[in-house]
Each structure stands twice: as structure tokens, then as C-alpha cells.
Amino acid sequence: MSERLADWTKGEQAIIYQTCGACGHVQYFHRAFCAACGVSDPREHRASGKGRVYATSLVCRAATPETRAHVPYNILLVDCAEGFRMMAHGENDLAIGDSVTASFRSFTGKLVPFFIKEK
């Protein structure tokens, strides 16, 4: 099996996704196999960080002292240019359909993807 590329969930400033060599399926959640056809060892790629806002929700009431320090923060679903959807943070005034680019910020001491509007 090929080595797993580190991404933001491992503290690296990167968004990683997988494509299946057999059926072409694109997946964001890392697996040792393609969830569409079952073939093992899908290829890993670093995403461009470009995408479009699919949905937003501005969190105003957080559940832990660590997250409460950050309110309000905007949770997004972003449709990435490479054909997968991911959850991330972003600027508070983003709207559905906005073209966005990924950056990274610290949230509760961990690195998280933060999308900003493309100028």
C-alpha cells in the first residue's frame, strides 16, 4: 500500500483526497479501498484548495469552553474543484455559491481548513 499523505487532520497545511484507479470514484474520507467498487489502494492527491460554497451554518452556541472562545464561527460544506465535498471553516459572510480558496487557521489548538472568498 502506498504511504498516506499527511493532511490537515494530521496537522499539515494540506487537503488530501483519493481517486480510484479502477472506477474513477473520488472520495474525501481516507480509506484503504474505494468505497464505490472495493478495489484497494486508491491514489492520494493534494487538492488545489479551490471550491464553491455548498452550505453554511454560523455557530453561535458552542458546546465546550475551547470552542466557545471562537464563536461565532462559520461551518461550511465546500464542493471542491476536484469533485469531492468537505466540511471546513470560512469567513463569516460567505454565501452559498461563492468561489472560495482554502487557507489554514488554528482552532482549539488544532489546524483546520479556513476558506476565504476569491477576489
Report the interface residues with another protein, using CB under 8 A: 9, 28-30, 54-64, 67, 70, 72-73, 75-77, 85-89, 96, 107-108, 110, 112
Residue number, 41 or 62, with CB nearest to another protein: 62
Instruction: Select 61 or 119, whichever has its Cβ closest to another protein.
Output: 61
Nearest distance from C-beta of residue 76 to another protein, angstroms: 8
Q: How far is the CB of 45 from another protein (least distance, A)?
A: 16
- The b-or-e profile of 70-84 (16+ CB within 10 A means b, else e) is eeebbebebbbebeb
State the nearest-atom distance from the C-beta of 54 to another protein, in Å.
6
Residue 54 or 101: which CB sits closer to another protein?
A: 54
- Is-contact 54 77, C-beta < 8 A? yes
Helix or strand (DSSP H, E) at 68: helix 65-68
Question: What 3-state DSSP class applies to 66?
Answer: helix
C-alpha cell at 74: 462559520
Tally of CB atoms within 10 A around 10: 11
Closest distance of CB 90 from another protein, Å = 11
